[in-house]
Amino acid sequence: MTFPLTPNTLVDDQDWAIFARDEEEVDGHPPKSGSNANFPTPPLTPVSPRSSFPFDSTLVAGESDTTIVSVSTTFHPSAGLLSTILPDLVLLSTDLVFFYVHEPVLLAASNNKFSSLLPMETAQSRLNSSPAPTEDELIQLLVVPEPSAVLNVVLHIVYGLSPARHSPSYTTLAAAVNCMPTYGIALRPLLNPSSKPLVGRRTPPPSPSHLYALLVNHAPAHALELYTLAAAHDLPELARAPSAYLHGLRVCEIPDEALQRMGGVYFARLVRMQLLRIDMLKRAVVQPPRSHVPTRTCTEEDTASLVRAWGLVAASLVWDAVPDSSVVNLEAAFRALSMHLTCLECAQEFNSHLNTVLKIWAQAPTTISC
């Protein structure tokens, strides 16, 4: 079977290329009834894509006999994703975008035969059928209940490719993560930054870093959502990244829906992280600087006044202790005391003690522990 489509006919900076085909006749063959009869498939003669074609209107039938269809620019017939092995399966998304893929790759990445949708009828059995199928009918068509943006991410990960060039939104990435278990794709190997790609496989292994890196990039803006997503799928390594941005989260403000998806274990880990940070802050500031031996210029009363001043600042910090206190704010609270120090020994001891306090606070846990 030949696929005359070439990468030169595709647009690299768009997600989908658009093609036209004549519904009445393809290469001299009249249309046949079959699994592909209800869906126009990519043509044997491509038409130049239109840069203004809307993403959410991927199938348009005009008044003529020409139908416009959209094909993935990554998963198209001549993409060469498996060298010389041609695609044997077409996935059709809910917004009518075609993805040319390899059934063995999907089966190798899935532990439930791609939600029991595979394997489909073999090409050899279709060749032996009567009447003889056309070239288009040799490729099986499978309708998948996912939008093209989500399916695009899933297939990139299955093939070990990065979908970063498509700039998927957090919503799209989260939807991809949520649907992967449905198709038997294990999430932990894909979302563990310390994992290594599988070797010794005949099909491309999923990359453990592409999806993780994309999700972590959204952690600052979607910390609670990403933490909830990781908790819902029991992904502790992924949950660590957004937890670093949840130091100041008031647990009483977490929505009920997020709490239900998060579950008790990951909620407890989040609360434990915040309590540990507050406890470490209290223990760091409660001890005042040591007093030196009284001298003529710095009496015992003078050193005691420094201890009392430190205690007042520490008491204020402990009373209002929050887990997201920064090192800068902590230093600023105590540094004001040094402005009134006239004794060199007191100043040296104060600076040394303050540096110790700041080092202790900098070592406070910044992420959840698993």
| pLDDT, tens digit, 9 for 90 and up, residues 217-226 | 999 999 999 9
Query: What's the chain's Rg over C-alpha atoms?
Result: 31
Token pair, residue 270, equals 């989040």
Spacing of C-alpha 333 from chain mean position: 38
Q: Cα separations (Å) of 345 from 23, 86, 302?
A: 92, 79, 12
Q: What is the pLDDT of residues 189-204, one digit of tens each?
A: 888 776 544 433 444 4
Give residue 134's pLDDT band: very low, low, confident or very high (50, 70, 90).
low
SS3 285: helix
- List the domain boundaries for the chain: 7-218, 282-362
**Cis status of the peptide bond prior to 131, with omega within 30 of 0:** yes
Spacing of C-alpha 81 from chain mean position: 23
Token pair, residue 254, equals 């977490």
In the chain, % of residues over pLDDT 90: 53
**Which is nearest to 106 in space by CA: 90, 126, 121?**
90
**Which amino acid, one-letter code, is at 340?**
H
The C-alpha atoms of residue 133 and residue 32 are separated, in whole angstroms, by 8
Average confidence (pLDDT) over 206-219: 82
Q: What is the DSSP letter of 25?
A: -
Asked if residue 276 has pLDDT above 50, the reply is yes
Please name every residue paired with 97 in a beta bridge, in sequence order, or none if there are none.
70
Average confidence (pLDDT) over 35-53: 38
The C-alpha atoms of residue 341 and residue 337 are separated, in whole angstroms, by 7
N-to-C CA span, the chain: 52
The C-alpha atoms of residue 368 and residue 281 are separated, in whole angstroms, by 17
The C-alpha atoms of residue 58 and residue 185 are separated, in whole angstroms, by 27
The C-alpha atoms of residue 249 and residue 242 are separated, in whole angstroms, by 12
Q: What is the DSSP letter of 335?
A: H
**Which is nearest to 104 in space by CA: 86, 80, 79, 92?**
86
Average confidence (pLDDT) over 342-358: 91
Average pLDDT of the residues of the chain:
79
Q: What is the DSSP letter of 102?
A: -
Q: What is the pLDDT of residues 61-120, one digit of tens each?
A: 444 456 678 999 999 888 888 887 889 899 999 999 999 999 999 999 999 999 999 887
Query: What is the CATH number that goes with domain 7-218?
Result: 3.30.710.10
Residues 149, 91, 158, 178, Cα dihedral to 10°:
50
Residue bearing the bigger pLDDT, 124 or 140: 140
SS3 19: strand
Average confidence (pLDDT) over 303-310: 90
CA angle 24, 30, 31 (to 5 degrees): 75
